[in-house]
Structure 1
Amino acid sequence: MKPTWDIFCTVVDNYGDIGVTWRLARQLVAEHGMAVRLWVDDLQAFLRLCPQLDPGAAQQWQQGVEIRHWPATWPGAEPAQVVIGAFACQLPDGYVQAMAQQPTPPLWLNLDYLSAEDWVQGCHGLPSPQANGLRKYFFFPGFTEQTGGLLREASLLPRCQALRQTPGERERFLGGLGVQPQQGARLISLFAYENPQLGNWLDVLAADAQPTHLLVPQGRILGDLGAWLGTAQLPVGALHRRGGLTVQVLPFVSQDDYDRLLWSCDFNAVRGEDSFVRAQWAGVPMLWHIYIQQENAHWDKLEAFLVLYREGLSPAAGQALVELWRAWNMDRPMGQAWAALQPHWDEVREHARQWQAAQAARPDLATRLVQFYRNSL
């Protein structure tokens, strides 16, 4: 019998939470032979990532994963052997009671948000005894050996390499999105939250002697983009040129196609957690728009990652990279920071490749979760 896993996901920010849990569920099934149920409270948001999904079905199977709608009124279900509450979501009371009644209690894991902060290493894997006698363990994704690793399917980097090395493959993929970049243009993807610094950055790109082709999938940044372009109408396929900058609006693509988009670009601006990790696997320079928290608590998380990520860069290149990320996330002059990074472009590009290789040398998140489960037996 295959070990059974239940993953619970509350969709908080449209796609980040479900994006991570959907990738994880598929990998546990495909690579580790687990039987996985993914409980999701918002199937409509899930539909954007999995177009084959039936948003009205209480139960269905997609890519080997059993998808269950998690309604406000708990329908009841026998607990799995491994139970994951993603991102501190609260499991149904009835389910927790059923867990406590099992002859062998399930392994209960709280899969937390990704962070590079120092305290994460000390908390990863620790138990949290519950009043009903169950134990819940903290499981933190991360960038060091003392954490739970990053999501990475076994085929991910080989597929990235194949797209880049197979003649015409990159062009075929971009052509399928209606993208035909001009010769010598720097290709940049932009997926971000609202940002007042966007116009300042675009002004510099438009004035640059090197042409830039900016690819913007549908999302929250389109309002700021439209304000800079002077239009409220930015349908999919919209193409605008200003100086050396070409701006093109793309459709909201599947997870696999978003990976291919990141692999196809020379620079990726990403947001949240799922896209942030995928951009690191692309191995090219990147910019992270971190999810905003009250009282700017997210800045500590940003700075903690930058401490790790800048290791190996020269002081000048490291400082330029840090100032770019701070400008984007702290409402500072973005155009000035972008211009200051350009003299260090080759070094930052090589550093992105080295970071990708270093992270790929560590076990991935799904593998570490399975190891944790087997060690608990």
Structure 2
Amino acid sequence: MLQPKTRWDIFCTVVDNYGDIGVTWRLARQLVAEHALEVRLWVDDLRAFERLCPEIDIDVAQQWQQGVEVRHWPSDWVHTEAADVVIAAFACQLPSDYMDVMAEREKPPLWMNLDYLSAEDWVIGCHGLPSVKYKSVQKFFFFPGFQPGTGGLLRERGLLDQRRQFQHDRAAQRQFLQGLGIDRAADAQLISLFAYENTGLASWLDVLAADAMPTHLLVPEGRILGDVARWLGVETLSVGALHVRQALTVQVLPFVRQDQYDHLLWCCDFNAVRGEDSFVRAQWAGRPMLWHIYQQDEDIHLDKLDAFLALYTKGLSPAAAEATNGLWRAWNAGLPIAEQWLAARNHWPELHKNAEAWCLEQGLQADLAAALVQFYLNWI
């Protein structure tokens, strides 16, 4: 059992707008709420953080939010005492002055690099291994993942029970959607779209508009809005915009905070997501999904995509697995996806069943926060 006053520092540099801060903010809150730890979250971009936590004052360098001490990571570092556990999120470089303070401690802290999420096989072999050393302080690799032998996924206590209750409560769903200004038609499928720019989008919207089944497409503020606007033939799209094209209704939503986004995913029949944090949350929704992975140099992100697909589609029939693989790969290549979407639709009941089974399978593993705490307990 951890001592209540165990202090943790989490460092985050905002690279992809919201993915990095989304993961670290969620982790920091869970460590405080479920493990009674003292957590400081160091962030170099409070303006991006404000989108996820509107209560943040971007002009204040030190503040407390939901039990977490939030500190602005300044360009000119000020002396501060090093924590018992130091997490460098996504291989960010710690301030050199802080590293010196870590080395000056009588008992060096546990220093971990919380890496990007990947389903690749090599992750299991590298998870928990020592990395570089700075003076007396040893750094360790810590990899989130989908298989035993990794650090697992972020999942708050009771999350899956909350999700199931919400998805069985039509009145609660209706109330939530109405709070966002969404009036869902009784016979319309609900799809959320949160993605990077994608030239394949127009083909998907074409087939949704021409479909016999009506679709209500919910698009939170984000980078895909420009592509949606071009397809609609309008100059810009702002929050609250509502456009109807044949069987397709497109509605632009505000950028919502994390708990609201969870509920949005839980309401939808299908979720298109991007990055890492939204990707994990869509899996906890237990609904069919489409992932737009963050593009990396030399297309190494496609190896990560294929590694996840190999795990995610393992329980599907060959035809359903082929349809899912085709849809995800075409979407991530920016290719037209009309044909692949229709192929996936042919296996809709099976895809729903697989999404729920995958969610429950992942829920059997220790969550990321608990795994980090256990790693520290083993270390001491």
Structures share a fold, TM > 0.5? Answer: yes
Any conservation in 1 of the 2:275–2:294 contact (CA below 8 Å)?
Answer: yes
What is the CA distance between 1:340 and its match in structure 2? Answer: 0.8
Aligned to 2:93: 90
- The one-letter amino acid of 1:141's match is P
- Name the residue aligned to 2:304: 301
Letter of the 2:325 counterpart: V
Question: Is 2:214 aligned against 1:215?
Answer: no
Structure 2 residue 124 is matched with structure 1 residue 121: yes
Report the equivalent of 1:237: 240
Q: CA deviation at 1:167?
A: 4.3
Write out per-residue CA displacement over residues 45-87 of structure 1, whole angstroms, 9 at most, x where no aligned residue: 0000000111111100000000000010111210000000000
Q: Deviations over 1:98-157 (max 9, x none)?
A: 111111000000000000011111100001241513210000000001100000000321
Indicate the residue corresponding to 2:65 in structure 1.
62
Q: In the aligned structure 1, how far is the partner of 2:222 from the partner of 2:241? A: 14
* 1:183 Cα deviation after fit: 1.5
Aligned to 2:142: 139
Q: Which structure 2 residues correspond to residues 62-81 of structure 1 after superposition, within 5 A?
A: 62-81=65-84
Could you tell me whether the CA contact under 8 Å between 2:202 and 2:227 is conserved in 1? yes
Residue 166 of structure 1, aligned match among 141, 166, 169: 169
Tell me the equivalent position of 1:343: 346
Shift of 1:360: 0.3
For residue 202 of structure 1, the aligned residue among 182, 202, 205 is 205
For residue 339 of structure 1, report the CA deviation from its aligned partner: 0.7
Secondary structure of the residue aligned to 1:151 is coil
Q: Which residue of 1 aligns with 2:26?
A: 23
Unaligned ranges ≥5, structure 2: none
Distance in 2, matches of 1:216 and 1:244, equals: 16
Any unmatched runs of 5+ in structure 1? none
The aligned counterpart of 2:378 is: 375
Provide the residue aligned with 2:325 in structure 1.
322
Which secondary structure does the structure 1 equivalent of 2:273 belong to? strand
Match of 1:152 among 137, 155, 173: 155
Matches of 2:300 and 2:132 in 1, distance apart? 28
Q: Secondary structure at the match of 1:171?
A: helix
**Whole-angstrom CA distance in 2 between matches of 1:34 and 1:273:** 25
Q: Structure 1 runs of 4+ off > 6 angstroms?
A: none
Task: Judge conservation of contact 2:99–2:134 (CA < 8 Å) in 1.
Answer: no
Alpha-carbon distance in 2 for matches of 1:92, 1:59:
17
Query: 1 CA distance for matches of 2:20 and 2:39?
Result: 17
Query: Structure 1: how far apart are the matches of 2:134 and 2:43?
Result: 26
**d(CA) in 2 for partners of 1:43, 1:233:** 27
Amino acid at match of 1:155: G
Q: Distance in 2 between matches of 1:289 and 1:45?
A: 21
The aligned runs of 1:22-61 (5 Å cut-off) are 22-61=25-64
- 229-238 or 76-85: bigger deviation: 229-238
SS of 1:173's partner is helix
For 2:84, the aligned partner's letter is Q
State the AA in 1 paired with 2:93.
Q
What letter matches 1:53 in structure 2? I
One-letter amino acid matched to 2:113: N
3-state SS of 1:130 partner = strand
SS in 1 for 2:346: helix
- Cross-structure match for 2:17: 14
Contact 2:8-2:39 within 8 A present in 1 as well: yes
Kindly state the Cα deviation for residue 159 of structure 1 after the two structures are TM-superposed.
1.9
Identity of aligned residues (%): 64
The residue matched to 2:349 in structure 1 has which SS? helix
Deviation at 1:295, TM superposition (A): 1.7
- Aligned AA for 1:325? W
- 2:346 is matched by which residue type in structure 1? P
Given residue 144 of structure 2, which amino acid in structure 1 is its aligned partner?
Answer: P
TM-score by length of 2: 0.98
Distance 1:265 1:167, change over 3 A: closer
Out of 216, 228, 231, the position equivalent to 1:228 is 231
Q: Does 1:285 align with 2:274?
A: no
CA distance in 2 between counterparts of 1:333 and 1:48 reads 32
Q: 1:209, 1:358 → 2: CA distance? A: 34
Kept in 1: contact 2:197–2:226 (CA 8 A): yes
State the SS of the aligned residue for 2:355: helix
CA distance in 1, matches of 2:134, 2:174: 57
Return the letter of the residue paired with 1:241.
Answer: V
SS in structure 2 at match of 1:19: helix
Shift of 1:233: 2.5
1:165 positional shift: 2.1
Q: Distance in 1 between matches of 2:180 and 2:79?
A: 43
The residue number in structure 1 matching 2:183 is 180
Offset from partner CA, 1:343-374 (integer Å, 9 cap, x none): 10000000000000000011000000000001
* Alignment pair present for 1:260 and 2:263: yes
Q: CA offsets per residue over residues 314-339 of structure 1, 9 Å max, x none?
A: 00000100000001001222111001
Matched, 1:365 2:361: no
1:204 aligned counterpart, secondary structure? helix
Deviations 1:83-102 (A, max 9, x none): 00000000000010111111
